[in-house]
Amino acid sequence: MTKEFAIEIKDLRKSFDGGKEFVLNGINLSIPRGSLTVIIGYSGTGKSVLLKHMLGLLKPTYGHVCVLGKDLVSLQESDLVKLRCSFGVLFQNAALFDDLTVLENVAFPIHEHRRYLPAAEIVKIAEKKLHMSGMDTKHFNKLPGELSGGMRKRAGLARALALDPDILLYDEPTTGLDPILTEMVDNLILETHQKQRGSTSIVVSHDLMAAFRIGENVVMLDKGKVLLQGTPSDFLSSDLELVRKFVDKGLKKR
Ligand SMILES: Nc1ncnc2c1ncn2[C@@H]1O[C@H](COP(=O)(O)OP(=O)(O)OP(=O)(O)O)[C@@H](O)[C@H]1O
Ligand SMILES: [Mg+2]
């Protein structure tokens, strides 16, 4: 396994019921360091299950998942916990702590994992990450419940960035948002990727046009396998029937 790839997956299979049905059925996937990859596919094709394997939250039934050159299968739980600090994750609902302010939410992981830092330094880092996510200072002391949907996303992103992750994971960051907010979040992902030099971004999305707009590397999953990996133009010129259907449907939506 090389270090040229942020993530390397070899023949990953996963069944939840002791072997009969495979949700992931032989995934081979290499995600280059520094790339922005979008994973697309119909609902239930295993996208979230795949992300959970990258984080080591699920164990493969067969196969290997390597993150930053380390094979997760051979890691102890304590090393897995350390490796998870290399990830920043933004879930669909931003998953903020409701009873902590925006600033406290972002400071939380820094406090947890960098205990040696003085409190004032932690606040400074949290403020920097919030500014980087486009959050205005006037919102720093608000509770998540007092924020608009877009602001909550920015706060969630700032928290995902808190520990300077090598890899940023976004699971359906725009599902359920209106078109204007969707575009804002897409741009935020792109800008963040460009600002975080050398970091790798992986976005799971239903939105094909966004995938084409932000992704250099697009991966389509189907029935637990990689159907096609390539550039947006590889997708547009593909003869595969399922890819064509997905592309036609995606193009019609806009
Ligand atoms: N913990 C689990 N136990 C059993 N089955 C599971 C578990 N997690 C996921 N699955 C099954 O794995 C399949 C893939 O689920 P997954 O959540 O990865 O889909 P997805 O591609 O992310 O879909 P969506 O686009 O709707 O989010 C589904 O059939 C789901 O029911
Ligand atoms: Mg999912």
Question: 157-160 long-range CB contacts below 8 Å, 24 or more apart?
Answer: 157/90, 157/133, 157/188, 157/192, 158/102, 158/106, 158/126, 158/129, 158/130, 158/132, 158/133, 159/88, 159/96, 159/105, 159/106, 159/108, 159/109, 159/129, 160/88, 160/89, 160/90
Closest CA to ligand 1's atom 8:
49
Q: Is the CB of 188 under 6 A from ligand 1?
A: no
Distance 141 CA to ligand 2 centre (A): 32
What is 1-86+177-254's CATH topology? Rossmann fold (3.40.50)
Q: Is the CB of 74 under 6 A from ligand 1?
A: no
Closest CA to ligand 1's atom 28:
44
pTM comes to 0.90
Q: Is the CB of 24 under 6 A from ligand 1?
A: no
Distance 44 CA to ligand 1 centre (A): 5
Distance 237 CA to ligand 1 centre (A): 29
Q: Give pLDDT tens digits along the chain (254 positions).
A: 556 899 999 999 999 977 789 999 999 999 999 999 999 998 899 999 999 999 999 999 999 999 999 999 899 989 998 898 899 998 877 689 999 999 999 999 999 989 999 999 999 999 999 998 889 999 999 999 999 888 888 899 899 999 989 999 998 888 777 888 888 888 889 988 988 888 999 999 888 888 888 888 999 999 999 999 999 999 999 999 999 998 888 777 65
Domain ranges of the chain: 1-86+177-254, 97-164
Which ligand 1 atom lies nearest to the CA of residue 50?
A: 18
